[in-house]
Structure 1
Amino acid sequence: MVQYNPKDWITFIFRFHKADTFRQLIPMMIFIGLYSAGICYMEMEYWQLSQESHVKNINVMHSLLGFVISLLLAYRTNTAYDRWWEGRRMWGSLVNNSRNLAIKLAVMLLDEHDRSFFKKAIPSYASILNKHLKNEETGLSLFEGLDLKIDHEKHRPNQVAKLLFQKINDLYKSGKISGDQLIVLNGEIQSFTEICGACERIKNTPIPYSYSAFIKKFIFFFVMTLPFGFVFTLGYYVIPVVVFIFYVLASLELIAEEIEDPFGNDENDLPTKKISENIKKHIEEIL
């Protein structure tokens, strides 16, 4: 995730980082520029269209559709940001629930061996969930000191959650915690699975294909028809104008594409690895 100072305007304007859409759009911007130059030459030099040509009135279509495309892009970016923010909320809840579980166990458990188990097992859930959402392999170093062998063919977070609940149930059977305490701890373990399910819902439910494809086609044909009308008022200056309009519209779509799946390794994705490391640090302090 990109770290920045929101008050530093100069850096925003003149700095190009990996996540900037300008670099991704350079090939298409060059193509749009050459295309616009060709339209200008054909209309002004080859066909020599006059100001009375009906082609000039094509701008009426852009005036009518400009409001529509702005609504579509606004809805697109808002929907993508909602997914990104919900993912952040889920990982914030995971941080708080992990702390709450550790605090309660620190008070309930007197045996150092039991406390040591949860000191390793609770942070393991966050680490496993991070790798699960990114489709990464799980290293054996995560489970040092734990009697846990992860089956990569099965749901990995569920295996850790099962181990946690099994240990808590064993504590109840051995009389180390009461029935009321078992109910309290059960709610914390259950919250882990609910957070995992919410994250999986975000990751596995993309924006409908027809909607995403329509916006891309709409932007493309909207921009490709711009030079026909604006050449009469701007002349060859229409080339940078059309390229800039394409850059703005296409950038909004690219940004929405990047943040709608917040659990990857893109520059603007959530720092889930760092969050899981912070969970580990906090749990070790508590237990």
Structure 2
Amino acid sequence: MIVRPRPHWLRLLFVRRGSLMPLIFWQLLFVFLLSCTVLVAHGRLFDWKVTLTAAPFSLMGVALAIFLGFRINASYDRYWEARTMWGSVLIVSRNLARQALTLTARGGAAPDATRPFILGLIGFAAAMRNQLRHRPCDAGLAGLLPDALVARLAGTRSAPALILLWLAEWLRERRENDALPPILAQHMEAGLDELSTALGSCERIANTPLPFTYSVILHRSSYCYCMLLPFGLVDSIGLMMPLVVVFVAYTFFALEALSDEIEEPFGTMPNDLALDAIVAGIDASLRELLGETPPPAPQPDKNFVLR
């Protein structure tokens, strides 16, 4: 995801990075060349004059816009639910870290005693990111988890679930050593359950895409509409017809590309979730609870240029 300050409105008109223009440039160029060809031929296809007017395109445009709105709303719902689940990971991790520091011994436990548990929460967030982005499951976990656990995670299919199991075993040890009353241990277990729920929800989003037929119908309809539109506007608009058609095509193609991009919110495309920044925020927040100095927070690109 792009993290940067909002540019000036004039510069925003010419921004390419994150605008989806690189993805749809060749489609727009095809539509523009087709429109120019129709303009030169005066709407004739070989010896046949294509007699189309703007009237049917008004009706088709409304239907296509409704379907396109449904598609992008469905994709955005997936995107926002994923962001909500990651927000809950941050909140629950903070709560568990605070409880580990204040409830695991009378008068509060020393940070060194609870440090493995809190670092394990950071490791869970990192492992969850790795799984959703199909990275090696043990990437970035060195120093956060015991070496034996990191070695155990290598090659597993659900490293975050195993980390939750290790965190639960840590709570069990505290309870068996009378460092954590059973009722408080049960309360903290509920926090681990919330982390497991967030993990399962994100896995559901990642492993259950929208039905493929939505993309097929929208893709075909958009192309047919934009390829026929020049024939309907050539007689009424004239020389400005290619520009009008390209503008309409840009709207349809860009929204279609955006819906495809945010349908999978855990990727690394410019408009996907900034998972690395979220995990870095969890890391910094929990290390501050331990009294440690966190690494510098990710900053927007102050040297942003039009690209």
State the TM-score, normalizing by the size of structure 1: 0.91
CA RMSD of aligned residues (A): 2.1
Shift of 1:201: 1.2
Q: Structure 2: give runs of 5+ residues left out of the alignment.
A: 291-307
Assess if the C-alpha contact under 8 Å between 1:80 and 1:259 holds in 2. Answer: yes
In structure 2, C-alpha distance between the alignment counterparts of 1:7 and 1:112, rounded to whole Å: 43
Q: Map Cα deviations across residues 188-229 of structure 1 (whole Å, 9 max, x no partner).
A: 111111000111111111111111110010001011111112
Number of the residue aligned with 2:65: 70
In structure 2, C-alpha distance between the alignment counterparts of 1:247 and 1:45, rounded to whole Å: 25
In structure 2, C-alpha distance between the alignment counterparts of 1:36 and 1:234, rounded to whole Å: 12
In structure 2, C-alpha distance between the alignment counterparts of 1:219 and 1:160, rounded to whole Å: 46
Number of the residue aligned with 2:9: 9
Give the structure with the larger helix fraction: 1
In structure 2, C-alpha distance between the alignment counterparts of 1:48 and 1:233, rounded to whole Å: 20
Q: Map Cα deviations across residues 128-152 of structure 1 (whole Å, 9 max, x no partner).
A: 0011100001346514361413142
SS of 1:14's equivalent in the other structure is: coil
Superposed structure 1 runs of 4+ greater than 4 Å apart:
4-7, 44-49
Shift of 1:14: 2.2
Number of the residue aligned with 1:232: 235
In structure 1, C-alpha distance between the alignment counterparts of 2:284 and 2:45, rounded to whole Å: 71
Q: Structure 1: give runs of 5+ residues left out of the alignment.
A: none
Letter in 2 for 1:157: P
Number of the residue aligned with 2:272: 269
Shift of 1:7: 7.8
Number of the residue aligned with 1:283: 286
In structure 2, C-alpha distance between the alignment counterparts of 1:271 and 1:87, rounded to whole Å: 11
In structure 2, C-alpha distance between the alignment counterparts of 1:47 and 1:84, rounded to whole Å: 47
Does residue 1:55 correspond to 2:51, yes or no? yes
How many pairs does the alignment contain?
282
Does residue 1:128 correspond to 2:127, yes or no? yes
- Change in Cα spacing, 1:236 to 1:119, as seen in structure 2 (3 Å) is same
Number of the residue aligned with 1:85: 80
Identity %: 26
SS of 1:55's equivalent in the other structure is: coil
In structure 1, C-alpha distance between the alignment counterparts of 2:190 and 2:125, rounded to whole Å: 17
Letter in 2 for 1:13: L
Shift of 1:160: 0.4
Following superposition of structure 1 onto structure 2, how do residues 210-229 of structure 1 map, counting pairs within 5 Å?
A: 210-229=213-232
Shift of 1:267: 1.0
Q: Map Cα deviations across residues 12-62 of structure 1 (whole Å, 9 max, x no partner).
A: 212221x2222222212221122222223333688798xxx77044x3221
In structure 1, C-alpha distance between the alignment counterparts of 2:258 and 2:111, rounded to whole Å: 49
Does residue 1:27 correspond to 2:26, yes or no? yes
